[in-house]
Structure 1
């Protein structure tokens, strides 16, 4: 997540949304909208779809603000999670599945104004190589989190591992990927 002014209180904005204060939702959009659009765009790979996802995510934020629990995590992280899950749910609803292998060639053949196909192939190949260097637990945790959209708790259930271990595997695994990819 990108830096925003420290003076903005995400938690207070969410609590205000829960009370029905529309100005709070507007303030959230003004402070985070462009960054959240970036999150949606990275997942959707289409600006129009990403904008639709962002709209739906802000409706979700408005409707679910009362379910935010500060004891379970930071408000800003919760907001980003809502956007991410909204995008992932949209992809699932579109029945847009990309599996390894032959589908990667199809994905690389699609023109993307932001990334040329050879870059996709190189990046995907390097990512696959780096993922292969991780331990099974770290690799599975990262895939469950970033491909399947699972929460840390869901990953812990799937792997039958303690929550703290899952969080550590993801943190260390991402650090190793960053180092490997360079």
Structure 2
């Protein structure tokens, strides 16, 4: 396990301090907690609920619970984001459980359900395309391949990649741009 960066430690402490202040009834601290965490907690709720409007409602409930329960937060027992994520996760699951159960269709209706999986030939074609993509990515220079994989499959931003690889942002953008041009040429040749 790698030690956390100083900026991550400061952010964690800032959030923990804000939660402690919320526990003492500080409304401004609740606004700070919201600003620091709403995007992450919304993502958790959206992933569980699968519906944007419902996830927004759950997030609102989460911050009401945070206001009510912040006095119980103990930074010695859990990181602040873990504590908040648990509240969001549990609230979203509670919302799912509260949904009315869908009426079951008769067993005879099963024969009428369409198989929405792709046809075998489409699956083979997709596998071949994935193989071509992997081969073209493997043919790139290692740093460009790594950066493209991290950016497009791992979700890292160019700034995060530049920081990770300890290079200027412009250098990272150049590596990725050149790698994408080479990737385009490789895939176009197939």
Larger radius of gyration: 2
When the two structures are superposed, what TM-score results if normalisation uses the length of structure 2?
0.47
When the two structures are superposed, what TM-score results if normalisation uses the length of structure 1?
0.49
